[in-house]
Amino acid sequence: MSSTFNALKPNHSGSRMTGTGGIKTCVGAPAACHSESDLEFYNNFSRMWMTAATSRQAQCAPPLRSSTAAATRVNHPGDLGVGWRTMTIGTPVSSGGQVGGGDAESLVLFVSCA
């Protein structure tokens, strides 16, 4: 049994940011497929990716099961542009327990704060 996961490049409309990801395929017959998609932004001060929002789903594919994490982008005077990405982590589970996991990372969306 194996699974693949996807993470789509985030979208934005005004100050609303969304990131979608989930289970792309499951080969075999898993008892459950769990995935978590995180909408993340790059923090220039800490030089780390930080989670802005999370969404979870637990339905097995066919053919694609996804969820969307959403957050409101807050700008402060003097802020630089910010990179946003979607990160998906997933785990298929068989009747005997966890089988394995995987992840997917989207392309980065750069949003100017000007």
pLDDT digits over 51-106, tens only?
Answer: 999 999 877 655 567 889 999 887 655 567 789 999 999 887 777 666 678 899 99
Question: Tell me, what's the pLDDT at 64?
Answer: 64
Residue 23, pLDDT > 60, answer yes
Domain coordinates of the chain in residue numbers? 2-72+80-111
Task: Name the β-bridge partners of 11.
Answer: 18
Select 2-72+80-111's CATH number: 2.60.40.2060, 3.30.70.20, 3.20.20.70, 3.60.20.10: 2.60.40.2060
| One-letter amino acid of 93 | V
Asked if 67 and 35 count as a contact pair (C-beta separation under 8 A), the reply is yes
**CA geometry: angle 45, 48, 50, nearest 5 deg:** 100
Residue type, 59: Q
45 contact partners, CB below 8 Å, separation of at least 6? none
Tell me the residue type at 17.
M
The two structure tokens encoding residue 94 = 């068989």
Q: In the prediction, which pLDDT does 67 show?
A: 87
The pTM of the full predicted model, rounded to 2 decimals, is 0.84
